[in-house]
Structure 1
Amino acid sequence: MQADTARPASRWPGAFLRRLMAAMLTLAALMLACAVAPAQEATQGPIRVTDIAGREVVLPRPAQRIVLGAWVSLDALSLLHPDPVSLLAGWAEGGSNGIQPAILRDKFPAIGKVPVIGRGTLDSISVETVVAQRPDLVVLSQFDAFRYGAGAAAKPPALAQLEAAGIPVVIVDFFLDPLRNTEASLRVLGRLIGREAQAEAFLAFYREHLTAIERRLAAAKPAPTRPSVFLHAFATRPECCFSAGPGTIDGFIRLAGGHNIGVETLTGPVGQLSLEYVLARNPDIYVATGVSGGAAGGFALGPGVSPQRAAEGFATLLKRTDLAALDAVSKRRAFGLWHLFVHTPLHLVAVEALAKWLHPELFETLDPRATLDEINARFLAAPLSGTFWVGPNAAGQP
């Protein structure tokens, strides 16, 4: 009997102690959570960034309803977010956004229901329509908001009205000075939508590829000469010759080791060169830019364009009498490039293609196609599918 009563008496203190210990651990965890919570809230706090125009932008939390200006390619958000269309509370049609429905419609059919708040320039945007969408952020291009970088004195009324309405507006730039502003712009967007890690991952890839080109050019002995380049923008236009001045594609040409003849006469980022000037300058390299769509059989590049169509359209373009007189055409140093590369961080692919065209021996192993394939696989919400460059022999062969 004594032995029987001794057993429960010996077990009872151990069970009690285990329950007591568990209670104490739970209490300690609760106390720790209470102590840490204020610090976590303080860390999360408001999101503060400085955009590329030097303006401070403050959000209470990551943006979930964004209105996108016409000259901010949705590609930038597509690099950061798995469903960029879900972020859109509205957008302006035209501009660099003209090609987005073709790229994203199959994967994100909701793009067809995104409210339109204007078309083209910022002047066309209805501030009342923007306010009605209840956005927590408006994203505008410096091209639109500050007219070729003219500064705050040129601030459009629509921008002032949006700010007066209490709607945060961030200014980014992937067009006017893309090699200078792309990294800062994408980093700001990543922070404002809570996708900083995604922004940094792409920017590491971006910088690695561009730096490789710079280093190879710098290390070449003897130093390579810089071929002169005529960048023929929107080459299907009947009149010649719309081109690039300082900024925009000029930066791509310089980084790739070439000299853009447009900067010799143009003072703005885009402008018209006379045919007489182009013929007299007789550049070493001819690069035409094109977009998808247009007349059947005409020069086209971009989403949905087949290699055959790109090659045939480019061959037809080069038969124009005003272009056939160029040595670059007769010597088969003529190439075509998708024009919308200039509005997106994906322009690093264009820089690689240009480097390969300008210095084929130096960049023999460079593979822009592989770079685009990796971007499609690792970063873009919807792969960029189509033909985006063309050479004198075959489409897609830089």
Structure 2
Amino acid sequence: MPSFPPQRHIRRPPPGWSSLVVGLIWLLLSGSALADSPGASDRVTVTDLAGREVTLPHGARRVILGEGRLLYTLAALRPEDPFAPLVGWRDELKRFDRDVWARYRARFPHAESLATFGKAANGEFSIEQALALEPDAIVFDLAAWPALRDGPALPVLEAAGIPVVFVDFLTQPDQHIAPSVRLLGQLFAAEKRAEALLTLRQESLEAVADRLPDTRPRVLVETAAGLHPECCRSVGDDNLGRVVRLAGGDNIAAEQIPGVFGRLHPEWVLAENPDVIVMTGGDWQDLSEAAIPLGYDASVSEAREAMRALTEARLGWPELTAVRAGRVHALWHQFYNTPYQFIAVQRLAKWLHPQAMADLEPEALWRHLHEAFLPLSTEGAFWATLEEASP
């Protein structure tokens, strides 16, 4: 039997077994209404990705997302309206994923009125604004944990009785995506959808693992190619570096970059001469004309043109093995910080091992993810290759 809060204004039934039975039936029938009101049934306790046990006494009805790209997960868990439980969020999705923001704003116009925040890891998160919103909880990415732990924000928020929760889709997504999705499923009363999404992820990753050959092509990942004038920003052994590993490749930057992101010297890249190059792109053409356009407003031909311009303009690149063999590819950058990374694994695996992965269909998987979980359709281009004949 569900647990209900005490009732104060209910007439006590007269003594007798029949009256007791009537009273119990009334309580059972009224359970759904009580569950929608603040009380013990709304209480949520989770263990976050910083290893902290956190309790939300009144559930998660007024939440601040300290990482705006957590919307990608929330959209899969609450596609009917991912903004409904939010009172504020960090502004980076609005600033850097503008094609995504335009679609969500058109579908959910009230999202425009949400308060916006800066980056907590840089000290730009306004504690005063957060306190004024009286949230039930604030959800941060684990990357903000050191700055919040060592600074004044976390003690102030906790002293004010505001629960703070940490999830991780960035620093160690291979290990942390599943517990993070489950945690958010708990917070937003979407446990079944969380498990369904994780089942799809697990099945998709296993499909790649079951087909992997022994050979591992050497791969260079260049993040946000063309957004910055110099070559090459890349990833260490985790995040997109782990995507390379799961897809059956060898990330050449894994031992050069100790953290999540770093920079490689152009001459080192030429000396390493990778077998495959994977660039990431997004809706950033207003920031840099050289950036690779990928996303809901992009086309494969536009992406390919930008990739060709980059490879032809860089000193020594036309002679690289990957360029000469036409094994230069591009992926949507936002795969790096969302639970959709398994799509990137399948797409990259098919580029690295076209024969072994011949029966995989990452395009169909991407469509299925949208149809089954997301409130958006799949128009646009989310990957491209320098040569049209590539699988």
Q: Alpha-carbon deviations, 1:348-392, whole Å to 9, x = none?
A: 111111101111110011111111100100101334542111012
How many angstroms does 1:315 deviate by? 2.1
Normalised by the size of structure 2, how large is the TM-score?
A: 0.85
SS at match of 2:278: strand
Amino acid of the structure 1 residue aligned with 2:154: L
SS at match of 1:79: helix
Corresponding residue for 1:75? 72
How many angstroms does 1:106 deviate by? 1.7
Normalised by the size of structure 1, how large is the TM-score?
A: 0.84
How many angstroms does 1:320 deviate by? 2.0
How many angstroms does 1:325 deviate by? 2.7
Corresponding residue for 2:92? 94
Residue 298 (structure 2) pairs with residue 301 (structure 1)? no
Q: Alpha-carbon deviations, 1:286-317, whole Å to 9, x = none?
A: 01111113145752112211233222222222
Amino acid of the structure 1 residue aligned with 2:128: E
Q: How does 1:177-326 map to 2 (within 5 A)?
A: 177-217=172-212, 223-236=213-226, 237-294=228-285, 295-296=288-289, 298-322=291-315, 323-326=317-320
How many angstroms does 1:64 deviate by? 1.2
Corresponding residue for 2:116? 116
Is residue 95–residue 120 contact of structure 1 (8 Å, CA) maintained in 2?
Answer: no
Q: Alpha-carbon deviations, 1:239-262, whole Å to 9, x = none?
A: 111110121111111011111011
Is residue 253–residue 259 contact of structure 1 (8 Å, CA) maintained in 2?
Answer: yes
Q: Take 2:42 and 2:60, find their aligned partners in 1: how far apart are those partners? A: 14
Q: Take 1:52 and 1:77, find their aligned partners in 2: how far apart are those partners? A: 17
Is residue 213–residue 256 contact of structure 1 (8 Å, CA) maintained in 2?
Answer: yes
Task: Provide the identity percentage.
Answer: 36
Corresponding residue for 1:146? 146
Corresponding residue for 1:346? 340
Cα gap change, 1:324/1:157 in structure 2, threshold over 3 Å: closer, same or farther?
A: farther
Cα gap change, 1:35/1:298 in structure 2, threshold over 3 Å: closer, same or farther?
A: closer
Amino acid of the structure 2 residue aligned with 1:389: W
Cα gap change, 1:320/1:195 in structure 2, threshold over 3 Å: closer, same or farther?
A: same
SS at match of 2:170: coil
How many residues are paired up?
A: 364
Aligned with 1:84 (options 78, 82, 100): 82
Residue 385 (structure 2) pairs with residue 365 (structure 1)? no
Amino acid of the structure 1 residue aligned with 2:133: Q
Is residue 66–residue 87 contact of structure 1 (8 Å, CA) maintained in 2?
Answer: yes
How many angstroms does 1:37 deviate by? 8.4
Q: Which moved further from structure 2: 27-36 or 74-83?
A: 27-36
Q: Alpha-carbon deviations, 1:31-69, whole Å to 9, x = none?
A: 34558989x989936211101110111112431111111
Q: How does 1:126-145 map to 2 (within 5 A)?
A: 126-145=126-145
Residue 30 (structure 2) pairs with residue 30 (structure 1)? no
SS at match of 2:253: helix
SS at match of 2:350: helix
Q: Which moved further from structure 2: 193-202 or 315-324?
A: 315-324
Amino acid of the structure 2 residue aligned with 1:167: I
Aligned with 1:52 (options 49, 53, 67): 49
Q: Which moved further from structure 2: 96-105 or 237-246?
A: 96-105
Amino acid of the structure 1 residue aligned with 2:297: G
Corresponding residue for 1:381? 375
Is residue 69–residue 92 contact of structure 2 (8 Å, CA) maintained in 1?
Answer: no
SS at match of 1:302: coil
Q: Which moved further from structure 2: 57-66 or 231-240?
A: 57-66
Cα gap change, 1:29/1:204 in structure 2, threshold over 3 Å: closer, same or farther?
A: farther
Amino acid of the structure 2 residue aligned with 1:286: I
Q: Take 2:141 and 2:94, find their aligned partners in 1: how far apart are those partners? A: 10
Amino acid of the structure 1 residue aligned with 2:220: F
How many angstroms does 1:109 deviate by? 1.7
Please provide the CA RMSD for this pair: 2.7
Amino acid of the structure 1 residue aligned with 2:312: K
Q: Based on CA coordinates, which of the two structures has the bigger radius of gyration?
A: 1
Cα gap change, 1:386/1:35 in structure 2, threshold over 3 Å: closer, same or farther?
A: closer
Is residue 89–residue 114 contact of structure 2 (8 Å, CA) maintained in 1?
Answer: yes
Amino acid of the structure 1 residue aligned with 2:188: I
Cα gap change, 1:165/1:296 in structure 2, threshold over 3 Å: closer, same or farther?
A: same
Cα gap change, 1:290/1:133 in structure 2, threshold over 3 Å: closer, same or farther?
A: same
Q: Take 2:221 and 2:290, find their aligned partners in 1: how far apart are those partners? A: 22
